[in-house]
Structure 1
Amino acid sequence: MIRLRGYLPVFAIAFLFSGTECSLEVIDINLKDGGEFGPEKANVCAGQVYLLKLVGLNTQDSNSVEHAASVVGYPDLPRWNFIKPHKDDLLLYGSYPENDTLDVQIISTDQETFESTDRRFQLNVLPCRKPQANFEVEMKFMNYNIEDIFGTDVLQRLEAVMQNLWSSSQRVYVSKVASVLDVGGRKPIDPRDKEGFIVRFAAEQNFSSELRGLELEVRQLRNRVPCPRHYKRTSVEWRFRELGLAPDWCGFRLFKGTVAAQRVIPPEEIPIAPLPPFDGPDLDEMPRRTTTRDIFVSLLVPLVICFALLAGIGGTSLCLYSNDEGDGK
C-alpha cells in the first residue's frame, strides 16, 4: 500500500528499453472515475522493462490519498511488477514474460474522508521479439534508488557494459528491474544511504567466458555469512565505477531457462477428499474427577503447618519466660 497525496493523473509516460537504445513513448491515458473500462490502453513489450509514470497526483492540497494497484480479480500485481512513489508521481514499472492483456486497477482512498475511487486501464503485453531469452544475469547496485534511474541513461549505459561482457550474444537488453525492498531487501541502517536496485540482463545466447569467470570470482563471497558487500573488488569493477555505480557482488547471479520458469501457468483445481464426520463422545460418558479431596488437602496441610509453627513458637516463648523468672528470684 502506497501513501501519496492527490489523485490519479490524466496521462502516463511509458519508457521501453530496447537493445542499447532507449526509446521513449508517450501514452495519453485519461483515467476516469468509476469501474468502467474506457479506451485507455498502454502497450509494452513482453520480457522487457516498462515504466508508466503517473503524474499530476498532487491536485488537491492537504488531501492524503493512499493508492493500491492490482490486476482486476487478483489481490496484487503480477510478479516483477511494482508501484513506487516518486515526488508527486506514482511509478508503475516492471516486466511481464508473456503476451497478455492485463486489466490494471488502481484504488485511491482518501485517508481523511475514507472515500475510495476505482480507476482502471488496460496494459497490453505485445510480442516484440521471438524467441525470448533463456539466459539472464542479475546484478545489484547500492548507490541508486529505483526512481533515480528512470528518466536517465543509467540502464542504457549498463546495457552497453553488459554487451561488452556478454560478447557471445549479439543483443543484450534489460529484462527486469526492481528496488531491493521490492524483492525482500531491508532498508539501509543509515537513512542517508540509498535503497539500491536490482537489474537483470537477458540474451538468447549462452553466457560468455567473461561472465563465467566473473561468477567464479564472486562465488567465494557467498561462503561468508553475512556476505561482505565491500570485501573484494572484481576484475570488471572499473567498468561500473566509470558509470558512477557501486555493484554489490554478493548479488551477482547467472540464471538459465528463465522463460520457462516465469511462464504464468493457470492454477489447477485439485480435488479434495471430504472429511469424515466427527462423532464426539457423549458428555455423560466422559470420566469425571472429584475435587473434594484436593480442596481438603490444600486447606488442611497449610493449617496444620501454621498450627505447628505457632505451637513451637509459643512453647519456646513460655520456656524462655519461665527461665527469666527463675533467674530473677
Structure 2
Amino acid sequence: MLKLNLILLLKIISFSYGLKEENVLQTEVFQVTINPSMFNWTYSNEQYTYEITLAGAPDLPSWLKYVYSNKHHSVFVYGVAPIGKKSVSLDVVALNRKTYETRVEQIKINIAEKLNPALYEVYLKINNINVEDMFDVERMEALKDIFRKELWKDSGTDLYVTYLNSALDIGARKPPNPTEEEGVVIRLGSQEAFSHEMIGLQEEVRPLWKMTLCPFKRTSVERYFRTAGFALDWCLFRLIGENNSAIGVNEKLSYQEPNDVLIDTISKDDIPKRDYFNDYLLATMVPIGINLILVCLVSFIICAKHDSLDERELTPPQEPGKYEGMSNEPLYAINSDMSLSPEPMLFSLTNSPTSTLGHGVHCRPSPPPYVRPKFKPEL
C-alpha cells in the first residue's frame, strides 16, 4: 500500500510523463530495455535507479521479472505473456541519485497470439552466464545456431525461446563469489519433431537424472557448446514433447494469472502437530541421570577412602619393650669385656704420660734426657 501511494505521488510531481508501447507474442520470451535515454537523461555511471510495477498495483505479475545489468547499465524487463491477456501497462519510476529528480514513464505491452506455437521444447541449464547475458543478440543467436546447424536442423525456421529464468529462481544456490555467474535455465521450442541427435543425447544423459549433484561434465556434443562459450549442466537436459511433459520437468507452455489460480488451502486442524513431551524428557532426564551417576561415584570414592583411614587409626601401636633386650645386648657385652680387662688404666685417657688432662693448663711434658755428643779424637 505504501509503495502504491508513492507511485501515485510521483506521478503528480513528475516532470515528464509519456506512454511507450511494446508488441510481444504469446508463449515467447520478450524483453523491454529501460535506460536513462528513456527519460531524456544522459548516461552517468551508477547514477540512476528504477522501480517497475504493474499499473495500479504495488508489484509486477508473476510472469514478469526485471533485472539490472551492471554491464549494460540498463534494466531488462522480461517474461512470457500469458494466454488470454491482450495488454498490460507498467509504471517505471526513475530516480536520479545526485539531484533526487524523479521521473515516471508508462510502458504499454500489447500481447498478440502466436500463429505457430512450439510443440516441442528442449530444456537447458547453462552455468556460466546470467540472465542479462542472454539478452545479447549475438549470444542468443550463437545458442540457437548450435541446434539449427548441428542438433536440431529441422527447427531452423521457427526456433525461438519459450522460457528464460535465473537458476536461483528454480532452487540453485547463489555462488559464494559475487563475481561468478548465477546460471540460467532456458527452453527453446519449435513445431518440428526432435531429431535423432536430440533423442540420442537425451538417452546419453538419462542415467544422470536421478543424481542430486551432477558429476558429468562432458557429452558427445560438448564441443559445440564449449566453442560457443556455454557450459551446460547435463543432468538437467530434457526434451519436452507435445503433451508438454517430460521426466523431471512439470512446467507447461501456458501461463495463468495469479488471480485465476485456485489455491487449495487446508484447515488449522489438518496441520500436523508435534508432541514435545519426549523432547522435554530427553532434555531434562538425561542430564539429571548423568549427575546422579557422578554423585554416586564420588560418594563411593570418598566413603572408601574414609574407611581406609579408620582402619589405619584402629591398628594398635607396637610395644616399646618388645625389642629392648635385643638392642641392649651389645652394650652389656662391651661393659662386661671392659670389666674383665687386667689393666683398667689403659682405658683411661688421664693415665697417659703424654696427656695434659688433669695437669693444668701450663703443665708441659719433661724434656728428653741430655746426651753428650761424641767427638772424634782427630777433632
TM-score band by shorter chain is 0.5 to 0.7
Q: Report the aligned-residue RMSD.
A: 4.5
Q: Using the TM superposition, give the Cα deviation of residue 167 of structure 1 relative to its aligned residue in structure 2, in angstroms.
A: 3.6
Partner SS, residue 228 of structure 2: coil
> Out of 168, 176, 185, which is 1:181 matched to?
168
State the Cα deviation string for residues 117-141 of structure 1 (Å, max 9, x = none): 65422111223x4131132111111
| Alignment match, 1:101 | 87
Q: How does 1:1-329 map to 2 (within 5 A)?
A: 38-56=18-36, 67-74=50-57, 76-87=59-70, 88-98=73-83, 100-107=86-93, 119-127=105-113, 129-164=114-149, 165-169=151-155, 171-228=158-215, 231-256=216-241, 257-258=243-244, 261-264=253-256, 267=260
Q: Distance in 1 between matches of 2:167 and 2:262?
A: 34
Q: Which deviations, in whole Å up to 9, do the C-alpha atoms of 1:195-228 show, x marking residues without a partner? A: 2222210111332222222122222222222233
What is the distance in 2 between the residues matched to 1:212 and 1:180?
25
CA–CA distance in structure 1, aligned partners of residues 136 and 55 of structure 2:
29
Partner of 1:315: none
Q: Indicate the larger mover: 106-115 or 96-105.
A: 106-115
- Cα displacement string for residues 91-141 of structure 1 (whole angstroms, at most 9, x for unaligned residues): 1123224352011123457899999865422111223x4131132111111
Query: Which whole-Å deviations, capped at 9, do the CAs of 1:230-287 have from their partners, x for residues lacking one?
Result: x2411111111111211111221222444965232662789x9xxxxxxxxxxxxxxx
Letter in 2 for 1:175: T
* Letter of the structure 1 residue corresponding to residue 65 of structure 2: F
What's 1:14 paired with?
none
In structure 2, the residue corresponding to 1:77 is in which secondary structure? Answer: coil
Q: Higher RCO, 1 or 2 (CA under 8 Å, sep at least 6)? A: 1
> Which structure has the bigger radius of gyration?
2
Matching residue's letter, 1:155: M
**How far apart, in 1, do the equivalents of 2:227 and 2:262 lie?**
53
Note if contact 1:96-1:125 (Cα within 8 Å) is conserved in structure 2.
yes
Deviations 1:281-300 (A, max 9, x none): xxxxxxxxxxxxxxxxxxxx
Q: Which runs of 5+ in 2 are unaligned?
A: 1-10, 245-250, 266-379
Q: How many residues align?
A: 250
Q: 1:193–1:38: structure 2 CA closer, same or farther, 3 Å change rule?
A: closer
Amino acid at match of 1:46: Q
**Aligned counterpart, 2:377:** none
Q: 1:80 to 1:157 in 2, by over 3 A?
A: farther
Higher helix fraction (1 or 2):
2
Report the secondary structure of 1:90's partner residue: strand
How far residue 72 of structure 1 moved from its aligned partner, in angstroms, is: 2.8
> Amino acid of the residue matched to residue 218 of structure 1?
V
CA displacement at 1:152 relative to structure 2: 4.1
Residues 237, 207 of structure 1: alpha-carbon distance in 2 compared, 3 angstrom cutoff: same
Please name the residue that 2:3 is paired with. Answer: none
For residues 105 and 13 of structure 2, the distance between their equivalents in structure 1, rounded to whole angstroms, comes to: 6
For 1:154, what is the secondary structure of its paired residue? helix
How much has 1:193 moved relative to structure 2? 2.3
Q: TM-score when scaled to structure 2?
A: 0.53
- C-alpha distance in 1, partners of 2:63/2:170? 9
SS at match of 2:111: strand
Distance 1:42 1:33, change over 3 A: farther
What TM-score do you get using the length of structure 1 for normalisation? 0.60
SS in 1 for 2:23: strand
Contact kept? 1:82, 1:182, Cα under 8 Å? no
Structure-1 separation of matches of 2:32 and 2:12:
17
The answer to which of 195-204 and 247-256 deviates more is: 247-256
Letter in 2 for 1:241: R
Sequence identity, in percent? Answer: 30
- When residues 112 and 186 of structure 1 are mapped into structure 2, their CA distance, relative to the original with a 3 A threshold, is farther
Contact kept, 8 Å, 1:163 with 1:171, in 2: the verdict is no
CA distance in 2, matches of 1:107, 1:116: 7
The change in CA–CA distance for 1:62 and 1:139 in structure 2 (over 3 A counts) is closer
1:81–1:95 Cα contact (<8 Å) kept: yes
